[in-house]
């Protein structure tokens, strides 16, 4: 696992650098793949899918998460919308609403403006559905865990007692406070 | 030696619920030769069935029947239909509990005397003292196998504890250790030692953690005096013409109503279902519900002042490794009104996996944006603790029947109303400050003060009292109004204390079993 050292300054500095899609500035190959992904949705049209991807990313902007990872959430919603007309309509309407709030195209607005728009719609059904999909599907995905450093299921691997449950780089407390384990 | 009793057998004690209160009471009564039928709304899951998956386990066993909320507490807006996180399964919430097992302090049994008259609070002394409870605490600790009692070693602290200990010591806290836990630090009582799996909230797959489901129920079954009926959801407690309880009506797995006769009934459905059941059992003789002559059924609902402090540290922590709750600071659990509030609180480490962290770090619609995503993206740098403090009983904080909304059985759902008391707000603020100081001392980059989760500690809705007019049951959990009706779970709590409640629930159940068996043999009930 990568060991990065965070500090307050670099955290604050980094946080002002969040942009839109990485792929859009990442050259032709990535852009083609991105367009192909958006065109391939089972129920959402390309514009709606791309906008929802950006909203998902604006809700939980990550510096280590690639754009492809955010597709997990939109793909899941696309699948649900395929069998639910009213859900699909709520996505189309929701995107139209934020597009118009952005003066035509949400994706072309600045990060600051997009966040302001999301603040305004915070709690409405479109917003809540996208937020909850990120919470319950995106952050529940193994690929996302790998990037964030969550290891999940432990039983099949015999637990963590021999796999780093005490390896954090802080002083080991005295035995009176933290006795030895049964295996020691 | 699982036994079957006839529906018309009116010599049995019926226990409703198989959790900390009901599971313990059932076993204790069966050991004493009392015939027991335990009715449990949930199914039976064994450690093999448990899943190391946060949402998966939640959907498998949490109590998800519809409920409504009202009041100014943050839960009403963040989780309007999930006021509490409790379990519907054999073993009840002891399937998901973390295992923290602390005795109440002497003054916490007599807070009306100690704290005086706190405006807006319905404070009352318990009708029992610590001294009277001590022998039962002792038995409960032995039964559960609580670490640091009865010569049982403490557990080794995990990464989350190392960070917590470092910060707490730098702040000058004295009593900081890996806690008294209902988790085996060595193999004991036919159960394994803890493998530091880190899924204590999902059901312990190694069986190291005490649970009424696999620790109490099988022992009760071995006596031959005990029958467990699963997927048996009690919807009414019935009485005869003289007003004595004569049985219960439940809905079975096929959706059919059954009536089980009973000599006595003990209710242990956790503090929302217990008062709900008493209220739903109203009749022409008891128009306000059973045992409600005082009007206190459902009132004085307490949930502990809670909150969490999470910190993004400057180095990797990996706090998901090892026990969910791994250590404690007890220094703040004293009553020191100079802090600006009465009562005290405990700080206990807590770790959630990334799936729950995403839902709970900043719960509700405002849980989005750079701050929260940065913490989630650096999940391996997180440390965390939970605050458990004494909240004030208030009469207006109540479980009542919402007759506008019906559950799957057509019964009115419970509405849970809660407003924080001024004392609660001051204490939470103090605790957030101390928690933040702990993590800053240990090298935090960013700190989160997280509001309460759906209540895991639900208390006080059928409280015990010296005088019948002040509460619902007496010091043995026996209804003040009806001689053969007992309250056997956390609903009995007169006040909440600063400590996690389960050890006290189990101690009260052991004590109650003694009382019931004695009275039954005397023929008084
Ligand atoms: C995640 C989590 C962590 C916790 N950690 C701790 C901790 O570290 N320390 C601590 O002291 N406490 C902890 N607790 C709290 C502890 O689990 C409870 O205090 C305790 O289990 C309550 O006991 P009880 O008997 O009142 O109810 P429960 O254990 O909840 O049992 C109630 C049972 O009754 C059944 N039931 C309800 N209504 C009916 C009905 N009408 N008919 C039939 N059956 C019914 C339910 O299905 C359930 O099985 C935790 C709880 C949770 C959820
Ligand atoms: S950490 Fe220990 S108690 Fe918790 S689930 Fe794992 S083995 Fe059980």
Q: Answer whether A158's CB lies under 8 Å from B195's CB.
A: yes
Cα of B321 to ligand 2 centre, how many Å?
10
DSSP secondary structure string for all residues of A105-125: -GGGS-HHHHHHHHHHHTTSH
> Which of the 8 DSSP states describes residue B491?
G
* B493 has pLDDT over 70: yes
Alpha carbons B301 and B458: distance in angstroms, whole number? 7
Arithmetic mean of pLDDT over chain A: 88
Element (H, E) at B251: strand B245-251
Calculated CA dihedral for residues B46, B48, B50, B51, nearest 10 degrees:
-170
Task: List chain A residues with CB under 8 Å of B153.
Answer: 179
Cα of A19 to ligand 1 centre, how many Å?
46
Alpha carbons B100 and A152: distance in angstroms, whole number? 23
Alpha carbons B418 and B305: distance in angstroms, whole number? 12
Q: B435-456, pLDDT tens digit by residue? A: 999 999 999 999 999 999 999 9
A159 contacts B206? CB cut-off 8 A: yes
Phi, psi for B14 (deg, rounded to 5)? -100, 125
Q: Which residue in A13, A135, A145, A172 has the most chain B C-beta atoms within 10 A of its own C-beta, making it the best mutation to test that interface?
A: A135
User: Tokens 């949705």 correspond to what residue?
Assistant: A41
SS3 A70: helix
Q: Ligand 1 pocket, B360 CB below 6 A?
A: no
**3-state SS track over B345-404:** EEEEECCCCHHHHHHHCCCCCCCCCHHHHHHHHCHHHEEEEEEEECCCCCCCCCEEEEEE
* A17 has pLDDT over 60: no
Contacts of A12 (CB under 8 A, 6+ apart): none
Substitution candidate for ligand 1 out of B280, B502, B507 with most atoms within 8 A of CB: B502
Q: Ligand 2 pocket, B75 CB below 6 A?
A: no
B199 contacts A178? CB cut-off 8 A: no
Percent of chain B with pLDDT over 70: 100
Contacts of B436 (CB under 8 A, 6+ apart): B309, B311, B444, B447, B449
pLDDT confidence of residue A19: 53
Q: Which residue in B376, B436, B439, B441 has the most chain A C-beta atoms within 10 A of its own C-beta, making it the best mutation to test that interface?
A: B376
Q: Ligand 2 pocket, B31 CB below 6 A?
A: no
* B487 has pLDDT over 50: yes
B403: Cα separation from own chain's centroid: 26
pTM: 0.96
* A16 has pLDDT over 90: no
Residue of chain B nearest A149, judged by CA positions: B380
| Closest alpha carbon to B64 in B47, B48, B49, B79 | B79
| Closest alpha carbon to B267 in B504, B492, B421 | B492
Task: List chain B residues with CB under 8 Å of A5.
Answer: 314-315
Calculated CA dihedral for residues B290, B291, B295, B296, nearest 10 degrees:
-110
DSSP secondary structure string for all residues of B455-468: BS--B-TT-B-SSG
Task: List chain B residues with CB under 8 Å of A62.
Answer: 373, 376-377
Task: List chain B residues with CB under 8 Å of A18.
Answer: 370
* CA-only gyration radius of chain B, Å: 22
Angle at which helix A67-82 crosses helix A85-101, to 10 degrees, equals 130
- Could you tell me the pLDDT band of residue B1, with boundaries at 50, 70 and 90? low
Residue of chain A nearest B187, judged by CA positions: A182
pLDDT confidence of residue B250: 98
* A18 has pLDDT over 90: no
* A29 has pLDDT over 90: no
- Could you tell me the pLDDT band of residue A2, with boundaries at 50, 70 and 90? very low
Q: Ligand 2 pocket, B199 CB below 6 A?
A: yes
Cα of B19 to ligand 1 centre, how many Å?
5
What distance in Å separates residue A15's CA from the closest CA in chain B? 7
Alpha carbons B335 and B498: distance in angstroms, whole number? 10
- Please state which of the ranges A156-160, B12-16, B234-238 shows the lowest mean pLDDT: A156-160
SS3 B225: coil
User: Tokens 């050890």 correspond to what residue?
Assistant: B503
Q: Ligand 1 pocket, B500 CB below 6 A?
A: yes
Domain-wise residue ranges, chain A: 44-146
A160 contacts B198? CB cut-off 8 A: yes
pLDDT confidence of residue A33: 79
- Could you tell me the pLDDT band of residue A22, with boundaries at 50, 70 and 90? low
Alpha carbons A165 and B161: distance in angstroms, whole number? 10
B368 contacts A152? CB cut-off 8 A: no
The mean pLDDT value for B15-24 works out to 98
B176 contacts A127? CB cut-off 8 A: no
pLDDT confidence of residue A5: 64
For residue A51, CA distances in Å to A91, A98, A123 come to: 10, 9, 18
pLDDT confidence of residue A11: 52
DSSP secondary structure string for all residues of B15-48: EE--SHHHHHHHHHHHHTT--EEEE-SSB---TT
pLDDT confidence of residue A12: 47
Interface check for A175 against chain B (CB to CB < 8 A): the answer is no
Beta bridge partners of residue B444, listed in sequence order = B313
SS3 B132: helix
Cα of B97 to ligand 2 centre, how many Å?
11
Cα of B63 to ligand 1 centre, how many Å?
10
Ligand index nearest the alpha carbon of residue B488:
1
- Please state which of the ranges A105-109, B237-241, B345-349 shows the lowest mean pLDDT: A105-109
Q: Answer whether A60's CB lies under 8 Å from B376's CB.
A: yes
Q: Answer whether B101's CB lies under 8 Å from B501's CB.
A: no
Q: Ligand 2 pocket, B196 CB below 6 A?
A: yes
| Closest alpha carbon to B213 in B61, B343, B357 | B61
DSSP E strand stretches across B286-353? 305-313, 328-329, 345-349
The mean pLDDT value for B170-189 works out to 98
pLDDT confidence of residue A20: 63
Contacts of A78 (CB under 8 A, 6+ apart): A41, A42, A43, A44, A49
Task: List chain B residues with CB under 8 Å of A159.
Answer: 194-198, 206
Alpha carbons A94 and A107: distance in angstroms, whole number? 14
Cα of A128 to ligand 2 centre, how many Å?
34
Substitution candidate for ligand 1 out of B61, B269, B401 with most atoms within 8 A of CB: B269
B316 vs A149, A178, A184: nearest CB? A149
The runs of H, that is alpha helices, within chain A are 8-15, 28-39, 46-59, 67-82, 85-101, 111-121, 125-136, 142-148
Element (H, E) at B135: helix B130-144
pLDDT confidence of residue B2: 77
Q: Which residue in A66, A123, A143, A173 has the most chain B C-beta atoms within 10 A of its own C-beta, making it the best mutation to test that interface?
A: A173
pLDDT confidence of residue A9: 55
Beta strands B68-70; B444-450: pairing state? unpaired
Question: 10 Å Cβ neighbour count for B224?
Answer: 13
What distance in Å separates residue B364's CA from the closest CA in chain A? 9
* A1 has pLDDT over 80: no
User: Tokens 């309007």 correspond to what residue?
Assistant: B80
| Closest alpha carbon to B264 in B35, B2, B42 | B35
Q: B245-279, pLDDT tens digit by residue? A: 999 999 999 999 999 999 999 999 999 999 999 99
Q: Give the end-to-end CA distance of chain A in Å, rounded to a whole number.
A: 26
Ligand 1, atom nearest to B88 Cα: 47
Residues composing chain B: 525
Alpha carbons A39 and B358: distance in angstroms, whole number? 30
């Amino acid at each position: 696992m990568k060991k990065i050292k965070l500090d307050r300054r670099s955290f604050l500095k980094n946080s002002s650098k969040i942009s839109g899609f990485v792929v859009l500035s990442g050259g032709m190959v990535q852009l083609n793949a991105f367009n192909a992904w958006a065109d391939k949705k089972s129920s959402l049209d390309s514009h709606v899918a791309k906008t929802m991807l950006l909203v998902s990313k604006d809700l939980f902007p990550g510096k280590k998460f690639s754009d492809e990872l955010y597709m997990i959430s939109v793909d899941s919603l696309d699948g649900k919308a395929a069998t639910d007309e009213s859900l699909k309509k709520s996505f189309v309407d929701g995107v139209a609403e934020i597009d118009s709030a952005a003066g035509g195209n949400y994706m072309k607005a600045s990060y600051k403006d997009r966040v302001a728009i999301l603040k305004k719609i915070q709690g409405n059904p479109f917003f809540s559905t996208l937020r909850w999909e990120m919470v319950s599907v995106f952050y529940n995905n193994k690929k996302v865990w790998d990037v964030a450093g969550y290891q999940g299921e432990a039983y099949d691997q015999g637990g963590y007692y021999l796999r780093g449950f005490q390896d954090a780089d802080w002083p080991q407390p005295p035995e009176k406070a933290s006795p030895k384990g049964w295996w020691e | 030696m699982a036994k079957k009793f006839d529906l018309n057998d009116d010599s049995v004690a019926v226990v409703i619920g198989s959790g900390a209160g009901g599971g313990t009471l059932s076993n204790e009564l069966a050991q004493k030769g009392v015939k027991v039928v335990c009715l449990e709304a949930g199914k039976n899951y064994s450690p093999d069935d448990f899943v190391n998956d946060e949402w998966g386990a939640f959907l498998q066993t949490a109590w998800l029947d519809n409920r409504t909320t009202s009041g100014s507490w943050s839960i009403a807006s963040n989780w309007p239909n999930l006021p509490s996180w409790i379990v519907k399964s054999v073993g009840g919430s002891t399937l998901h509990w973390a295992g923290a097992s602390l005795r109440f302090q002497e003054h916490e049994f007599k807070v009306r005397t100690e704290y005086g008259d706190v405006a807006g609070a319905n404070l009352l002394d318990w009708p029992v003292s610590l001294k009277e409870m001590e022998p039962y605490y002792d038995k409960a600790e032995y039964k559960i196998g609580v670490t640091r009692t009865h010569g049982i070693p403490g557990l080794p602290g995990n990464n989350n504890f190392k960070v917590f200990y470092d910060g707490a010591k730098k702040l000058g806290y004295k009593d900081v250790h890996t806690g008294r836990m209902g988790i085996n630090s060595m193999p004991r009582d036919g159960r394994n030692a803890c493998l530091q799996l880190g899924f204590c909230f999902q059901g312990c797959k190694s069986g190291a953690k005490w649970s009424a489901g696999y620790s109490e129920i099988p022992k009760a079954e071995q006596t031959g005096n005990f029958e467990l009926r699963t997927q048996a959801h009690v919807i009414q407690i019935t009485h005869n013409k003289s007003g004595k309880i004569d049985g219960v009506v439940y809905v079975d797995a096929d959706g059919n109503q059954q009536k089980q006769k009973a000599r006595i009934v003990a209710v242990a459905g956790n503090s929302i279902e217990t008062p709900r059941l008493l209220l739903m059992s109203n009749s022409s003789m008891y128009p306000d519900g059973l045992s409600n002559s005082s009007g206190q059924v459902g009132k004085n609902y307490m949930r502990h002042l809670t909150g969490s402090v999470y910190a993004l540290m400057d180095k990797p922590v990996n706090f998901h490794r090892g026990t969910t709750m791994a250590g404690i600071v007890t220094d703040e659990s004293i009553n020191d009104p100079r802090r600006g509030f009465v009562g005290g609180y405990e700080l206990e480490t807590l770790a959630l996996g990334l799936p729950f962290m995403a839902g709970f770090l900043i719960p509700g619609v405002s849980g989005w944006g750079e701050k929260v995503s940065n913490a989630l993206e650096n999940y391996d740098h997180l440390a965390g603790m939970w605050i458990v403090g004494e909240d004030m009983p208030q009469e207006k904080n109540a479980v009542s029947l919402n007759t506008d909304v019906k559950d799957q059985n057509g019964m009115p759902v419970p509405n849970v109303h809660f407003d924080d008391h001024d004392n609660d707000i001051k204490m939470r603020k103090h605790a957030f400050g101390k928690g933040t100081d702990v993590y800053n001392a240990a090298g935090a980059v960013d700190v989160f003060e997280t509001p309460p989760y759906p209540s895991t500690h639900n208390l006080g809705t059928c409280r015990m009292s010296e005088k019948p007019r002040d509460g619902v049951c007496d010091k043995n959990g026996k209804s003040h109004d009806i001689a053969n009706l007992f309250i056997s779970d956390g609903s009995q709590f007169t006040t909440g204390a600063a400590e996690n409640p389960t050890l006290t629930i189990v101690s009260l159940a052991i004590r109650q079993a003694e009382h019931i068996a004695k009275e039954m043999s005397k023929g008084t009930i």
